[in-house]
Amino acid sequence: MSTLELSHDHAAHPCHHGWQGESCQDCKARLFSICAALTIDELEELEALSRQITLAPRQTLFAQEDDATAVYNVTEGALVLSRLLPDGRRHVMGFALAGDFLGLALPERFTVTAAALGPVTLCRFERGAFRALVADKPHLLLRLHERAAYELTLAQDQMMLLGRRTAEEKVASFLGGLRRRYARIGHDSATVELPMGRQDIADHLGLTIETVSRMLTRLDRERTILIVPGGVRVLDPGRLEHLAAG
């Protein structure tokens, strides 16, 4: 597992508890994460338990089967969550974006490997201390249940993606779903950023990288999307959603 380094960036409003960076009150991800349920005093309690860490692109946060001793909140960047199958193939389970918590599930070992897609900043909490805080705050527990329900919906969407859909429908559904996730965290734009590579997308959708490239090119040629540096611009959201509905 890769070594994690404390961030050395200085924010305008430093944390009260010793680590460098912005405080929980100033965190841009707070408004769309479970932390939004906390009062200012409760945020200070949470902040006292946290340690800010940064990852370089492709650096591993934790590996499949590592002991799940910590909980992480993504504050900036994106990670790919993958699982190594018994036959040696890699399956991408999903992608974590700003506001997502990792390590909340019950298993004592991580069931996936989490690796940064680009520069990533996270808050790290010791699992026992985080659970104790949650147990004392029913409103935070409610937000965790809401988050679990949301993640279950994403998992169900993934099962549908791997079902009886054409390659074009799978790619369109992936782009539409990612666009909705970005809107949920305040990035409501016609341009959908794709921090993940086409191999990551292929391993997520159960396709080959050649098929993913071909489907993106087809959607571009049909003027449903426009391929731009770092992502795609949605030109015809209606058609994209129609294809995604399968």
Residue 59 has pLDDT above 70, yes or no: yes
Percent of the chain surpassing pLDDT 90: 51
pLDDT at 9: 37
More confident: 8 or 195:
195
* 169 and 184 belong to one structural domain: yes
Counting the structural domains of the chain, the total is: 2
More confident: 186 or 58:
58
Q: Which of 35-39, 124-128, 212-216 has the lowest mean pLDDT?
A: 35-39
CATH code of the domain covering residue 9 = 2.60.120.10
The rounded distance, in Å, linking the Cα atoms of 15 and 215 is 46
* 78 and 148 belong to one structural domain: yes
Name the one residue in this structure whose structure tokens are 């399956």. 91
H or E, element range at 50: strand 50-55
Measured in residues, the chain has a length of 246
* 141 and 209 belong to one structural domain: no
Contact partners, residue 137, CB within 8 Å, separation at least 6: 37, 38, 42
Most confident segment among 1-10, 21-30, 114-123: 114-123
* 143 and 171 belong to one structural domain: no
pLDDT band at 15 (very low <50, low <70, confident <90, very high): very low
pTM listed for this prediction: 0.80
Mean pLDDT of 150-173: 77
More confident: 72 or 24:
72
Identify the domain boundary among 139, 155, 171.
155
More confident: 108 or 218:
218
CATH code of the domain covering residue 201 = 1.10.10.10
pLDDT at 4: 40
86: helix, strand or coil: coil
The rounded distance, in Å, linking the Cα atoms of 71 and 35 is 13
H or E, element range at 100: none
pLDDT at 14: 44
**What are the strands, taking DSSP E only, across 85-216?**
90-96, 101-102, 113-116, 120-126, 191-193
* 86 and 117 belong to one structural domain: yes
Token pair belonging to 3: 């070594």
Name the one residue in this structure whose structure tokens are 């790290």. 124
pLDDT at 30: 60
pLDDT at 204: 93
Task: Tell me which DSSP letter residue 67 carries.
Answer: B
* 180 and 73 belong to one structural domain: no
Separation in Å, CA 177 to CA 169, 171, 240: 12, 10, 10
14: helix, strand or coil: strand
Burial environment of residue 224 by CB neighbours within 10 A (0 to 12, 13 to 18, 19 or more): buried
Contact partners, residue 38, CB within 8 Å, separation at least 6: 46, 137, 139, 140
The rounded distance, in Å, linking the Cα atoms of 173 and 167 is 10
Q: Which of 24-33, 76-85, 115-124, 209-218 has the lowest mean pLDDT?
A: 24-33
Q: Provide the residue range defining the domain that includes 132.
A: 5-155
* 90 and 38 belong to one structural domain: yes
pLDDT band at 142 (very low <50, low <70, confident <90, very high): low
The rounded distance, in Å, linking the Cα atoms of 245 and 38 is 37
Identify the domain boundary among 155, 185, 203.
155
* 123 and 215 belong to one structural domain: no
Residue 60 has pLDDT above 80, yes or no: yes
Identify the domain boundary among 138, 155, 172.
155
Mean pLDDT of 186-212: 93
Q: Residue 106: what are its φ and ψ, rounded to 5°?
A: -75, -30
More confident: 6 or 111:
111
Mean pLDDT of 33-44: 71
